[in-house]
A and B are shown apart, each in its own frame.
Chain A
């Protein structure tokens, strides 16, 4: 009975370690995928911010090998096992995930994943970025113009090509910048007039003037554009300090009057009685 159990146990352990060691195949097309933007310090920095928020809890501090104890090991991003992979492989694995490694495709867009790759590469001094072969490929160039139609509560994004003509079929993504992350307004394609519309919820909290900071990212083929703009789109918000006025939760100077009166009245009356007794005891001398 015992022997059987041990054999079974060993087999289970073995199968686990096999899963752990099984290599992570990446399809050839993804493996050869390359960033069309050159990695620079700015990209590395935005990559680091994403890394600290989303990756560090398992992968630990780069070069310290202080990753979480898990099976399979998350590994250190500065290690060879990471650096020997192609850019495309890293990009694919972050997006798709496997087992305990989450799928980041829904949380991060492709550019953000490239920023992460840039950050991972910043720990490899021998790394030379491969550029994609763009021969014969036309990279569309265009700019974005934003406006707000207050009659229909829609954000209007117009794409204008190099030739000053509107550009259709451009992928647009619009966000509202928030304190702790961006709020996705939506995704759309521009129409023949080069225009994309986004619904804006009028109840969103704006600043004191009713302004929201809009971020629009556009992409067509290898061409991309991004713009940020503060626009009046919603009702102005009035901000009031939570500790304004006399409250139990306010500052010392803003203590409620009733509390001050009760506290000081109680303490002072008790001490007056104490003093009454202390000075009263002097009267004992009169009879001596």
Chain B
């Protein structure tokens, strides 16, 4: 019994230690804030001068903002895969990393909504979407589902946090009073009562089931923003599953990167171990294979027939204007990394980090390839327009605003991981208890 108490004490000590504002984290936050302010200056320019400050034009009206939006929604799906699908299927190994996955999901989902607003020339008319929106438009479905997804994701993060918040409220010293007060409110009078555990386990299960269709819906509807239009390259019935499978690849890579950074900077090497990286590497191989399968379908089926507009689009992808990026993304950002991950040595933390970073970078450019080149090959030929209309190059303002979205993501993720323990303490304790008994 003493043994177990000692173990509990170590767990609490190790996992509560990062929950404070150290020098390093303040410098890191300061850096993020300064970057954000610099980037927001460009957003101010965009508000003042309109979307003219971007590289968007008559033909390519969806540029890196929308590509980035698709990427953010994609990466946010990982919370559902790890906590819900694997959790409900009874995988034990996901426990220490489930909260990381949920924090990444919530942060990406929250910023995704803002990215949409950054693509609007008149964000002051945002409410018009709700007042005058046509329910027949996938854009309305997307907005409804993004808001719902953020709400469910926040709850899915919050419900299993309650016991840990209560612990923080009780044990963590040296925090600002307002933070203490916040813990007290958020712990909802938690007293480690067995019925309380029963209750949150029940709610967690309900939310974990609920989030599966919602997460599938959010990314399927995002794919429908494209697939519901009559455009060569978007007009594809497999766009939903194609997007969802791609989302898991990006999400797994993001979680692996997150795991590495939390593990090293929060001193969690004995909690997030090589075993977890090994498991994540295997999961990444699985989802990458599914995604490769969808990629093959998405390209070979129209490429075999090469009809009309599809032909022009595919030719530019396979050996034309966008070929370099296309092959770098497909081979370098997807096929090669998953082949490397087949080797056990490559699933160690550092190689995992490098491979995942390449995959995540590839995933971002993959979204660019899905969104932008299609618009350069409309069915109705581009004629009698200035030369500049036929190409799309993002401007500095546009890049800065996109960088801002990543900075905002990092800020939300950092704050969440700094005010809450990144590994579920009570669940870990339960596991230790089970092991001893």
Contact = CB atoms under 8 A, between A and B. Distances in A.
B136 A281 contact: no
Interface in A243-288: 248-252, 255-256, 259-260, 263, 267, 270-271, 273-274, 276-278, 280-288
Given A288-B189, A288-B191, A280 B203 contact: yes
A256 B384 contact: no
A10 interface: no
A251 B141 contact: no
A57 B191 CA distance: 80
B207 A277 contact: yes
B305 interface: no
Range, interface on chain A: 20 to 34
B152 A274 contact: yes
A82 B135 CA distance: 57
B171 interface: no
B206 A273 contact: yes
A284 B162 contact: yes
A249 to B, nearest CB: 7
Interface stretch (B193-201, B253-261, B280-288, B331-339): B193-201
B311 interface: no
Given A255-B134, A270-B148, A284 B206 contact: no
Question: Which secondary structure characterizes the binding site on chain A?
Answer: helix
Contacts of A278: 155
A58 to B, nearest CB: 11
A276 B188 CA distance: 16
Nearest to A277: B203
A274 B159 CA distance: 12
Question: Which secondary structure characterizes the binding site on chain B?
Answer: helix
Contacts of B196: 284, 287-288
Contact of B134 (A252, A270, A276, A288): A252
Nearest to A68: B384
A274 B151 contact: yes
Interface string B93-119: 000000000000000000000000000
B210 interface: yes
A255 B188 contact: no
B190 interface: yes
Nearest to A282: B188
B210 A251 contact: no
Nearest to B193: A287
A281 B206 CA distance: 13
Interface in B167-205: 188-191, 193, 195-196, 199-200, 203
Contacts of A274: 148, 151-152, 155
A281 B151 CA distance: 15
A282 B199 CA distance: 10
B136 A256 contact: yes
Of A255, A271, A274, chain B has the most CB atoms within 10 Å of the CB of A274
Contacts of A288: 189-191, 193, 196
B215 to A, nearest CB: 12
B299 interface: no
Contacts of A277: 155, 159, 203, 206-207
B142 to A, nearest CB: 12
B136 A285 contact: no
Contacts of B210: 270, 273
Interface string B366-399: 0000000000000000001000000000000000
B132 interface: yes
A242 B214 CA distance: 35
Contacts of A263: 135, 141, 144
Contacts of B141: 263
Of A57, A277, A281, chain B has the most CB atoms within 10 Å of the CB of A277
B52 interface: no
B135 A271 contact: no
B152 A270 contact: yes
29 contacts: A250-B136, A251-B134, A255-B136, A259-B135, A259-B136, A267-B145, A270-B152, A271-B148, A274-B148, A277-B155, A277-B159, A277-B203, A277-B206, A277-B207, A280-B199, A280-B203, A281-B159, A281-B162, A281-B188, A281-B203, A282-B188, A284-B188, A284-B189, A284-B199, A287-B191, A287-B196, A288-B189, A288-B190, A288-B193
Given A255-B135, A263-B135, A277-B155, 15 more contacts: A250-B136, A259-B135, A270-B152, A270-B214, A271-B148, A278-B155, A281-B199, A281-B200, A282-B188, A284-B188, A284-B189, A284-B196, A284-B199, A287-B191, A288-B190
